[in-house]
Amino acid sequence: MTATASLAASTPAGQPVGIFDSGIGGLSVVRHIRAQLPQENLLYFADSGFAPYGDKTDKFVIERSLAIADFLLAAGCKALVIACNTATASAVHLLRERYPQLPIVGIEPGLKPAAAVTRTRTVGVMATDRTLSSPKFQLLHQQLTLSTGVRFVTQACSGLADLIEEGELESEKTVALVQRYVSALVAERADTLVLGCTHYPFVQSVIESAARKAGADSIHVVDTGIAVARQLTRLLDHNGIRRDEAEGTLEAFTSGDAAALSRRFDRLLHISSPVREIV
């Protein structure tokens, strides 16, 4: 991959923030970043040509994450957001090693905020198989179980990110798959569900109705996208590189189909953004 530094800017603050995900899931994080940091220039990389990451090997996800980070850095990014739980679990430590000076924000399932709100003391965690089986998640799971006494029941949601990636947000297939996963968690008495994959906020209403259908009186859904935007704000301020000029721009790259990503921007974020295909 080669970078086209169309946003190369003279001051460090004017340089863009690089954000990536296996596909369109990271757009659920981008909407929080844009709300909180409207003046930042953003470069988004959707690795749709290689999605989903959730059923790939650790090695594969690491290789993709390093290649994309290199690309975004070559394009002049001043900070990096890994808007993907799966890539964070596999590669955040390696990216921090490779770029020790770079502000990097990862995302992980929100077990802590979920523990603070559950009444049944049982939390359901929906994520990819790769995230749930990662040592990083298992350590978090163990620590939070010990420190809060809450029971975390995990559910690998195989196939769900793929359907969302295809734009099937409310199709019969998606509703049935969500119902299967959510019913299993409600049957365990979970009253709080953690969205441990950045694709899932796009089907949050489907998840909530599945929980009601499965007999939950009330359900609390935890999405950590907003916490990522807050952490990015803190890091930019701390490093004195927050941009405070006019409204920022958003440009996108994809290893998949540019027209498809363009349509997702329209549908999910209600914005049109230039998209370039990267081989």
User: CB-wise, 158 or 249, nearer to ligand DGL?
Assistant: 158
Which x/- pattern, by CB under 6 A, does the window 148-167 give for ligand DGL? Answer: -------------x------
| Under rule CB under 6 A, residue 86 binds ligand DGL | yes
Which amino acids are annotated catalytic? 84, 197
Residues 1-40, one symbol each (x = binds ligand DGL by CB under 6 A, - = not), give --------------------xx--x---------------
255 binds ligand DGL (CB under 6 A): no
Could you say which of 131, 154, 224, 255 contacts ligand DGL (CB under 6 A)? 131
How many residues touch ligand DGL under the rule CB under 6 A: the total is 16
Sites for ligand DGL among residues 170-229 (CB under 6 A): 197-199
DSSP string, 233-261: HHHHHHTT----SS---EEEEESS-HHHH
Is residue 52 near ligand DGL by the rule CB under 6 A?
Answer: yes
Point out which residues bind ligand DGL (CB under 6 A): 21-22, 25, 51-54, 84-86, 128, 131, 161, 197-199
